Structure 1
Amino acid sequence: MFNLFQRNTAISTKDLAEKLKEPITLLDVRTPEEYRGGHITKASNYPLNKIDRYQGKEKEVYVICQSGMRSKQAVKILKQKGYEAINVQGGMNRWQGPTRGGK
């Protein structure tokens, strides 16, 4: 059922950088290849095509991808599963902080 009032919760990459100072769950929904190419240290790789099987214990999860489109889809799926999912707007394209992996 589509709820007109349910909007996708989103934060900027700048706000995410602040949030990362706390223990949070950050899911990177890009492909394993993209993830290996460079990701945020605290991010766990959980590709979009497997997100419907996600079974984390926490209620609140942050979701990132390359541009924000796949993470937006993942947030919808996670919300249907009862999570408080938050999309990182602009994704890795806008991320200014340190990354692990890649070049």
Structure 2
Amino acid sequence: MAQGYSTMGSGGRTGQSYIAMSGEKLATGVVNIATGIVELPKTVILTSQRDGAPYGLTVGLITGIMHSVGRTVFGALDVVTFLIPTPPTVRPKYIWENFDKETTYG
């Protein structure tokens, strides 16, 4: 029989059960593994819009590769550690949230 615990995480998710928080972390991890590659075109587009096409196609490409790896690795870590519910490390939590905002970590 599953038993839920009410917790208050630093992410401000008061009242969410342990099971719900763990499940959300697992789902977020799986989604971030699957969509990590989308960081590449997203970052190239954002960098090109902000700094021009030549910069976006060079620096944006390199940054996009790093963000793709970052989102995928943090997604894998979330899957491995889903039993320890913590706030999301990648912001935005899903790539389609705030698509016009560059990804940050921490």
TM-score higher than 0.5 here?
no
Considering Cα pairs closer than 8 Å and 6+ residues apart, tell me whether 1 or 2 has the greater RCO.
1
Return the structure number with greater helix share: 2
Q: Whose Rg is larger?
A: 2
Return the structure number with greater strand share: 1
TM-score when normalising by structure 1: 0.30
TM-score when normalising by structure 2: 0.29
